[in-house]
Structure 1
């Protein structure tokens, strides 16, 4: 039996794969990826400011193993702020183009009785204003509006405002 020689196209394809496949492992460093817009708000209890409450923000990014946690404490006027969060990552050359960003954010108000979910959002973009379409996520929450989602999670009804840093449009 005579063996047919390999077609030149197959050889070319094998050479191309051999030469370019390692490029997928080469890193591509990206900087200034926005994981969260700045967040500001006010916690009230029957329309009165609540000072001294602790809030916990959790950011779970799909390229990290553990959530990023940061905390804020309400001032005398019940106001709190969380800064914008940016990150850098060394993506593989191909994964830069195949990567789908996913950043889940949740903000809990810590009360003596239970933790109350004030805000939850998942962004799928590193672009600014991905959560609400505004530069700052701004909200007002009143402790009188607490409802159970299930036996474990209790939701605090918060109103998102269409403004930037404390009253500035």
Structure 2
């Protein structure tokens, strides 16, 4: 990790980190709310005789549509950042097992995310799933992306020899394709 990342991680207070994460989550929620408005553009109104009447989108309708995603995503992002910061301060770690912090924080954020359903089983399942996902991503870190294995000169010669033996056997078996 770089020095600037350590400075940001341990020199800022938990409240400021949670607040900045809530702002970022609110921006994410605004984008989701805007996409929801684009996906379902026509709000409907039921008349007295149960006939559907489309109405124009006003500011009140737009705010009502975007309020939920903004609040929930800000709450989830702030919860994750705040719990992770508190876990860092409580554990007094040596930076060797930061994945534990993000697993616990992901579990609490998943519980908040699952609380939208108001069901305990969904909250527990989302806490388990999000906690495991964030823990695995933090545990793997930069090793998450795979890099191709580098082959040395001796290994490539051995591979070529094995391929040549297999090709020769196939050429003997199918003599009409010997010239390929």
Same fold (TM over 0.5): no
TM category (shorter chain) comes to under 0.3
Of structures 1 and 2, the larger Rg is shown by 2
Give the strand-richer structure, 1 or 2. 1
Q: Scaled by the length of structure 1, what TM-score is found?
A: 0.24
Higher relative contact order (CA 8 A, sep 6+): 1
Q: Scaled by the length of structure 2, what TM-score is found?
A: 0.23
